[in-house]
Amino acid sequence: MNGMEIKIKKILEKSNSEFAEIHIENKKVTSFSLSNSQIEQLETKEVLRGNIRVLKNGQWGFVSFNDISLLETYIKMAEEQANTISLYIKEKRKVLPFKPVKAHYRTEFKINPLDVSLEEKYGLAMKYDSILKKHKRLQNRKIFYADREEKLYYGNTEGSLITQDKIFTGILIYAVAKDGNNIQTASESFGGYKGYEVVKDLDEVVDNIGKIAEDMLDAKQIEGGYYTVVLDQKLAGVFAHEAFGHLSEADFIYENERLKNIMQIGRRFGTDDLNIIDEGFIQGEAGFIFIDDEGVIPQKTYLIKNGILNSRLHSRETAYKMKEELTGNARAIDAFHQPIVRMTNTYIDKGKYSFEEMINSVDDGIYAVDYRGGQTNLEMFTFSAARAYRIKNGKIQETLKNVVLTGNVFETLKNIEMIGNDLKLFGGLGGCGKAGQSPLPVSTGAPHIKIKNVLIGGI
Amino acid sequence: MENICDKIKTRVKNFDIYLQKLESETVNFENNKLKLVDRRLEKGYGIRLIKDNKIGFSASNNFGNIDSTIENALKLSAFGEKCYFEFPNKRFDFKDLKIFSDNITSINSKKMIELGKHLLSLLSSLDNDIKTNVIVEKNIIKNELINSSSLNLKERKTRFSITGWIFKAEENNFIEIWEQEDLKENEDLPNLINKIFERIKFLFNSAKNVTKIEPGYYPVFFTPKSFSTILSMLIKSFDGNLIYKKISFFTDKKGRKFFKKPVTILDDPLKIGYPYSRNFDGDGIKSEPIYLIEKGVIKQFLLDIQTAGKLKSVSNGHSVRSYVSLPSPGHTNIFFTVEDKSFVENREKIIKGIRKGILIDQFLGAGQSNILAGEFSVNIDLGFLIENGEIVGRIKDCMIAGNLFELLNDIEKIDNSPLYYGSIETPGVLVSKLPVK
């Protein structure tokens, strides 16, 4: 045990709370962007953060800080807060216990980005920039690179003591094409708990991004209306995350009787072929976790199994309250924030159809590819495709722009007609936002899927 | 701070240091009950230095590793961006912007709990089946900037805000409504709570009946909340960086009368008592209000010293900065209006004048469209059908789409009750027609 672990252990041993936990993290980030061959926003930062959360007299107290020399003061502050709340609330909160975990975890990588010189990183970005430069209609080319070394310490009053060494590497390639007032963009991001290898050898992809941005200048405007759509793996993954993942987060449900009735385990949501899974332990993915931020080991959780609502995502508190099992989904974006119920790697499992079979089955519809963003209010979701193509008589035709899809979660899940056999997961530099905590690294994925009756906004 | 300064001086001639201290306290009520008091104490610094005319930057909140932070900034400067500025040395008098209030610092957690409880009980009385969240937040911020041109600026700020959120889930009908208020100068707390409650109450009651609308073109009344979302998309195009890269829609349009209507967007960092008011920007330049658009004419873009240098211009003091990052162009308090009194009407009167149209209060998925080109296509999260001047019910599962720049040209009326959301103050706005799908 090193100094930090001993310190955490000592403070926790003295605590007489029902449950208490301490997070300390030290993150070193290097990032820069290259815009039209010029370096911009080259930064390094080293940020030390910590928090103490206690459950005392049935209530929570939470203090976050970056001066870690005052842990004893902070734990008292957190306890006082919990005591204050207990003056107002009679009903006591409880958490489900978990076995003590004593471990040291380390993410795997081939090339440690910290061993790669800044010169080499800059050289790589310049290489990608020169590939984009061949595309003459691009007005702006941007490569954003970031790597992060994380040292995390966690301890709780159950006796868990965990240290983690994690390396995250990511890149974003962004191209803006312009023709008069017509401005179009294309981008792609790669990233995850892997090494420098994740950002290397992307020449072909980069070239394709330049090509897509240029092609989009000539894309036709889509007419708004209801369409049969085939979603590519990336967009279908975002659909799984936005449309169903958030609805499976138990903190929306555990104190809401009405929503509990709607989200009853055993309720049918889709056809027998539909399986939606959240799985934290997928090494290397952006949403990869060894352990969640409450010291619980993540499970492979079938949210929907054979079309039926099977389980949901939990923190210790929601699992206790709902008398369900822990899934290891309490996560915080950093130690300044408290853990809340979040997804990790969420995906629709593979089905039986080939991509060709799906496209062939559409007489008149849309093939929607890649995404710009997505949002849900639990009942309705919306996400925008980066680009789309018309499908006519089973064949992919012209490129379309401004394809924003929206719908009712429950209806749309029922309207999934075909699920492909080509599951793929995507991470990247972005992430998920909830309750002011954004971006949390997550991966999403799916095979190609075909959905009928989807509303597309158009312009 | 002096300690950091002395250390850098021995290594490099030109630099600035930005130091931030934040103390925040947040009281969270979740699902109709008090959940958590969250306290955060944070202090950190960012060092920007120039070596061989290139910029190096490093930040940390660990005051034990100042030497290595300086070392990192120096190391990075070898690859850094070319420097297009000199650190400002111009001194100026501070205005009393009333952005620090002892009344706010003295609000303790018990008082915050009481305030939250009060809003919670009001909101919970709307319906037995709604779930209510309330967040009461207090921030005490200290920003300090020192540079090698002997500038030494300090400003303290307090911010206090209350957010109310209600959620009701019925089979095939979920509703979610939020409202937020920042405590401004000369405002009292009970009034703040009432304003939040009255707005949510109106929206919730209006949404009880669910109705449908046929796709087509309709007049649309945007509440200040939804119109602030529209404006936040539009303002992105005024970022000096996008102008420099020629990817803003407004590139080469400065000085042109771009909008037919006399629309005005002002960015005012000197507005007394407003949350984003400040005396100096992230580079240490004196804050001044600027018009982004004045009576339809494109006037100025948001600039920091580096971007201004690239554009061979001078900074207008509109850079934003936190200790962890280099400064970048950004806005403070945005004010939108149409400068023609004939546009202004009482909100009730505007709605009364709509034969068939919609009122939009909340969007879902704004900002995902091709904003650079001004195109938007968003889901109407909370919207209502208006028939013969009356709100008849909530509309769902529909979208509006259009072009932001054309939308401003189609403004017919604005109301006389502007509200401040996030950092944008705008009245409600009636647009003559937009496609609803």
* Residue B170, pLDDT score: 86
Provide the shortest C-alpha distance from residue B414 to chain A (in Å).
Answer: 24
A335 closest CA partner among A150, A168, A77:
A150
Which of chain B's residues have a Cβ under 8 Å away from the Cβ of A225?
Answer: 215, 437
- Please answer yes or no on whether B176 and A377 come within 8 Å at the CB atom: yes
- Please answer yes or no on whether B57 and A61 come within 8 Å at the CB atom: no
3-state secondary structure B32-78: CEEEEEEEEEEEEEEEEEEECCEEEEEEECCCCCHHHHHHHHHHHHC
- Please answer yes or no on whether B167 and A256 come within 8 Å at the CB atom: yes
- Please answer yes or no on whether B59 and A46 come within 8 Å at the CB atom: yes
Provide the shortest C-alpha distance from residue B433 to chain A (in Å).
Answer: 13
Please give the structure tokens belonging to residue A78.
């957190």
Read off the pTM. 0.92
- Please answer yes or no on whether B249 and A374 come within 8 Å at the CB atom: no
- Please answer yes or no on whether A225 and B437 come within 8 Å at the CB atom: yes
* Residue A459, pLDDT score: 60
Provide the shortest C-alpha distance from residue B38 to chain A (in Å).
Answer: 5
B37 closest CA partner among A163, A85, A416:
A85
> Which of B328, B365, B369 is closest, CB to CB, to A374?
B365
In chain B, what is the straight-line distance between the N-terminal and C-terminal CA atoms, in Å? 57
* Residue B367, pLDDT score: 67
The CA dihedral of A210, A214, A215, A216, to the nearest 10 degrees, is 110
- Contact status of B113 with chain A (Cβ, < 8 Å): yes
Q: What angle do CA A196, A198, A200 make, to 5 degrees?
A: 75
Which residue is associated with the tokens 């009167």? B349
Please give the structure tokens belonging to residue A344.
């990790």
- Measure the CA–CA gap between B258 and B261, rounded to whole angstroms: 9
How confident is the model over B109-122, as pLDDT tens digits?
999 999 999 999 99
- Please answer yes or no on whether B377 and A336 come within 8 Å at the CB atom: no
- Contact status of B437 with chain A (Cβ, < 8 Å): yes
The CA dihedral of A391, A394, A395, A396, to the nearest 10 degrees, is 30
- Measure the CA–CA gap between B132 and B126, rounded to whole angstroms: 10
Please give the structure tokens belonging to residue B152.
């030494």
- Contact status of B167 with chain A (Cβ, < 8 Å): yes
- Please answer yes or no on whether A64 and B41 come within 8 Å at the CB atom: yes
Q: Which residue of B has its CA nearest to A410?
A: B172
Which of chain A's residues have a Cβ under 8 Å away from the Cβ of B69?
Answer: 46
Q: Which residue of B has its CA nearest to A454?
A: B397
Q: Which residue of A has its CA nearest to B248?
A: A183
Q: What is the DSSP string of B113-155?
A: HHHHHHHHHHHHTT-TT-EEEEEEEEEEEEEEEEETTS-EEEE
Check: CB of residue A183 under 8 Å from CB of residue A176: yes
Band of residue B305 on the pLDDT scale cut at 50, 70, 90: very high
Q: What angle do CA B187, B418, B319 make, to 5 degrees?
A: 85
> Which of A39, A62, A176 is closest, CB to CB, to B81?
A39
* Residue A435, pLDDT score: 86
How confident is the model over A426-449, as pLDDT tens digits?
998 888 889 889 999 999 999 999
- Please answer yes or no on whether A402 and B377 come within 8 Å at the CB atom: yes
- Measure the CA–CA gap between A248 and A303, rounded to whole angstroms: 7
- Measure the CA–CA gap between A139 and B174, rounded to whole angstroms: 43
- Measure the CA–CA gap between A294 and A296, rounded to whole angstroms: 6
Residues 6+ apart with CB under 8 A from A111: A195, A196, A197, A200
- Contact status of B245 with chain A (Cβ, < 8 Å): yes
Band of residue B41 on the pLDDT scale cut at 50, 70, 90: very high
- Measure the CA–CA gap between A417 and A394, rounded to whole angstroms: 15
**Strand duo B263-267 + B334-338: pairing:** antiparallel
How confident is the model over B385-404, as pLDDT tens digits?
999 999 999 999 888 988 99
Per-residue pLDDT tens listing for chain A (459 residues): 678 999 999 999 999 999 999 999 999 999 999 999 999 989 999 999 999 999 999 999 999 999 999 999 999 999 999 999 999 999 999 999 999 999 999 999 999 999 999 999 999 999 999 999 999 999 999 999 999 999 999 999 999 999 999 999 999 999 999 998 889 999 999 999 999 999 999 999 999 999 999 999 999 988 888 999 999 999 999 999 988 899 999 999 999 998 999 999 999 999 999 999 999 999 999 999 999 999 999 999 999 999 999 999 999 999 999 999 999 999 999 999 999 999 999 999 999 999 999 999 999 999 999 988 788 888 888 888 989 999 999 999 999 988 889 888 899 999 999 999 999 999 988 888 898 899 999 999 999 999 999 999 766
- Measure the CA–CA gap between A219 and A435, rounded to whole angstroms: 36
How confident is the model over B70-104, as pLDDT tens digits?
999 999 999 999 999 999 999 999 999 999 999 99
- Please answer yes or no on whether B76 and A43 come within 8 Å at the CB atom: yes
